[in-house]
A and B are shown apart, each in its own frame.
Chain A
Amino acid sequence: MATLEIRDLHVTVEADNAEKEILKGVDLTVKQGETHAIMGPNGSGKSTLAYSLAGHPKYTITGGSVTLDGEDVLEMSVDERARAGLFLAMQYPVEVPGVSVSNFLRTSATAVRGEAPKLRTWVKEVKEAMERLNMDPSFAERNVNEGFSGGEKKRHEILQLELLKPKVAILDETDSGLDVDALRIVSEGVNRVRETGEVGTLLITHYTRILRYIKPDYVHVFSAGRIVESGGAELADKLENEGYEAYTKGGASE
C-alpha cells in the first residue's frame, strides 16, 4: 500500500534577498485510499507544502524528510516525483504556449506509464474522460491552459488526475473559482479516482464547501506553516461555524 510520509518538513523561500521560513515542521502521513483535507487561512503555507512536495525550484527544503513508499522524494527531480506517483493539481495552472492539450496529455501519459498508450484506446480514453468532466472536445486542440477560464483550468487538472492515476494526489484549492455546477463536476471526477481505492488524496482548501462533495477521512488545520490540529470530518464543521480565528490569534502563530 502506497504511503506518503512527511516528517518535520521545514521550507524557506527567498523573499527580498532573505530566506523566509514558510513551513515550520509539517508532519503528515497519507496512505493509499485515504482522503486528508488540509484547511487553513490565506498565506498559512498550504500551497508551499503542495509545491514543495512536487519539487518546485523556488522552495528550499531546510529540514525534515518526505518519502513515498520509503523512497526519498526530496532526492527526486520534479519529473521523477511525478513518475513515482505524485500528482499536484495546481491552484494556478500554467499556460504553455505552442503545446496542444492532446499532445501534452499523451506525452505526459507516456512518461508516467513508461510506454506510449496504444493510440486507439488512448483516443477513446481521453474522449470519455473529457465527456465526464463536461469538457468540449475542442479543448484537445487548444494550447495547454491558454485562454482557459478558471473553471476550465481546474477541469483540465482533474482530467490529468484521471488519466495519470497517481498514488498520491495533492489538490491545491481545486475548488476555488468554481461555480456550483463546476464544483460538482470536478468533485465527481475526484471521487471517481478516489473510489478506485488506489489513490491517497491531500485536499487543500480554504473553504468547507467542497467537503460536501468530497468526504474526507481526516481534517487538518494548517496555520503559520504547520498543522495545528487534526481530527475527523467533524473538525470541518467546527471550522465552518467558527472560522480560523481561534488558530490565527491563538498560540499557533509565531
Chain B
Amino acid sequence: MAEAQNIPVGSTTAGQIAVAAESTVATRMSAPPSFDVADFPVPHGREEEWRFTPLERLRGLHDGTAAATGDGVKVTVEAPAGVVVETVGRDDARLGKAGTPVDRVAAQAYSAFEKAGVVTVPKETVLTEPIRIAVHGEGGIAYGHQVIELGAFAEAVVVIDHTGDAVLAANVDYVLGDGAKLTVVSVQDWDDKAVHVGQHNALIGRDAGFKSFVVTFGGDLVRLHPRVAYAGTGGEAELFGLYFTDAGQHQEHRLLVDHNTPHCKSNVAYKGALQGDDAHAVWIGDVLIEAKAEGTDTYEMNRNLVLTDGARVDSVPNLEIETGEIVGAGHASATGRFDDEQLFYLMARGIPEHEARRLVVRGFFAELVQQIGVDDIEERLLVKIDEELEATV
C-alpha cells in the first residue's frame, strides 16, 4: 500500500514525531505506573489510554467488579530438559522486575493473581525445542502473572497459546540476561466471547535480542500492551504482530519501546486484516528515545488491510525524540482496502474469487509469518487465515 493511503470512512491514521523535553508518552497516562490497582482511578473511557476501548465489554476487569472464579484458565507448561518451571506465590522476588503496570487493568491483574508462573532458562542454556505454555480458558474469570527469564547467553523460543473462553487479565514479564536471545510467539486464538487484557514487559539485557510475535485472531475483546525497555547497551528488540479482526471483534495492540539506554535497536512491524461489520482494530505505537539514548536505531510500522465495509482501524504511531544523536528513527502507518476493483482485476486474470482473497491476505501477511521460524505455528497461522476467509464468503 502506498504510504498514508487512508480510507476516509472507518479509519483513522494519525502520526507524529515530537521532539519534546518532557515525555508526552508518560504524561498521556492518567496515573503513574504502579503495582497497586488502588493507585488508578476507574476509567470512564475518555482517558487517552482508554479512549478506543469499549469499557462495557471488559466485563468488569477495569472497575473491580470482576472477581476471579475457580474455572478461569488452565495453564500447562511443556518445556525441554534444562528449563526450570515453577509456580510461585505473590511474594516471589522475581515477579514484576521487567516493568510496572501502567493502567488500571494491568494493575488489577497484578493485585489479584494468587499464583504466578516462573519459567527460567539457566545461563548459557541453548534450547533446540520451544517451550510451550498453553493457556486454555475454561469459561470463568482469571488473573495471572507469568515470568520468563533467560540467564546470560541463554537462547529459547517460547510459544504462549491462548485458546478457549475466559475473561482474563494477565501480565507477562520477559527478563533477558546479557547476550540472551528470546523469541516469543503469543497466539490469541480465543473463542468468540473471550476477553483478554494484558501488559507484556520485556527488559532486555546488554547485547541481548528479543523477538516477539503477537498473533491475535480470536476473542470478543483483546487488548495487549507489549512494552520494551533496555537494561544495557547493544540490546535489540523486534516486535512483530499480526491480527485478523472479524465482525464485532475489538483487537487493540498498544506498544511502547522505551529507548532508555544508548546504542540499542528496535524494529516494530504490525499488520492487520479486518473484515465484517464493527470489526475494530486499534494500534498504538509509542517509541520514546530518551535524552541519554544516543546511538538509537528504531523503526516502527503498522499496515492494515480492510477487506470489507464496516470495519474500522485506528492506527497511531508516535515517535518521541529527546536526543538528536541517533542512528535512525522512523515510522509509517497505512491502511488500504481490498475492494471490488481489486477483486475484479484478479478474477479477470482467471483467478477464482476465493483464491483471489486468499492471495491478497496471505501475501499481505507472508513476510511476517515467514519470520516466525516455528513450523507448526506458521502452518497453523496460514490455516487460520484461510478459515477466517472462509467464514466471510
Contact = CB atoms under 8 A, between A and B. Distances in A.
B347 A79 contact: yes
Contacts of B350: 79, 82-83, 108, 111-112, 164
A50 to B, nearest CB: 10
A112 B345 CA distance: 14
Contacts of B365: 98
A54 interface: yes
B359 A104 contact: yes
A99 interface: yes
B333 to A, nearest CB: 14
Given A98-B363, A111-B355, A56 B344 contact: yes
A116 interface: no
Nearest to A90: B345
Interface in B242-288: none
B346 A104 contact: yes
Interface residues of B, number: 26
A99 B344 contact: no
Interface in B116-171: none
Given A78-B348, A79-B351, A90-B345, A96 B360 contact: yes
A93 B336 CA distance: 17
Contacts of B352: 79, 111
A147 B3 CA distance: 10
B69 interface: no
A107 B341 contact: no
B364 interface: yes
A144 B338 CA distance: 13
Contact of B349 (A57, A97, A98, A104): A104
Contacts of A96: 338, 342, 345-346, 360
A103 B338 CA distance: 17
A146 B2 contact: yes
B2 A57 contact: no
Tell me which of B344, B352, B361, B365 has the highest count of chain A C-beta atoms within 10 A of its own C-beta: B344
B2 A107 contact: no
A99 B349 contact: no
A77 interface: yes
A15 interface: no
Tell me which of A97, A100, A147 has the highest count of chain B C-beta atoms within 10 A of its own C-beta: A97
B1 to A, nearest CB: 4
B305 interface: yes
A23 interface: no
Given A57-B340, A78-B344, A111 B360 contact: no
A174 interface: no
B2 to A, nearest CB: 7
Contacts of A144: 345
A94 B351 contact: no
Given A97-B336, A98-B305, A146-B2, A82 B349 contact: yes
A147 B2 CA distance: 7
B344 A97 contact: no
A135 B361 CA distance: 26
A79 B343 CA distance: 10
Tell me which of A88, A93, A98 has the highest count of chain B C-beta atoms within 10 A of its own C-beta: A98
Contacts of A160: 349
Interface in A38-57: 54-57
Contact of B360 (A57, A78, A98): A98
B379 interface: no
Interface in B293-342: 305, 336, 338, 340-342
Contacts of A82: 347-351
B353 interface: yes
23 contacts: A55-B347, A57-B340, A78-B344, A78-B347, A79-B348, A79-B356, A82-B349, A83-B350, A94-B344, A95-B342, A97-B305, A97-B338, A99-B346, A99-B359, A99-B363, A103-B363, A107-B359, A108-B350, A146-B1, A146-B2, A147-B2, A160-B349, A164-B350
Interface of B: 1-2, 305, 336, 338, 340-342, 344-353, 355-356, 359-361, 363-365
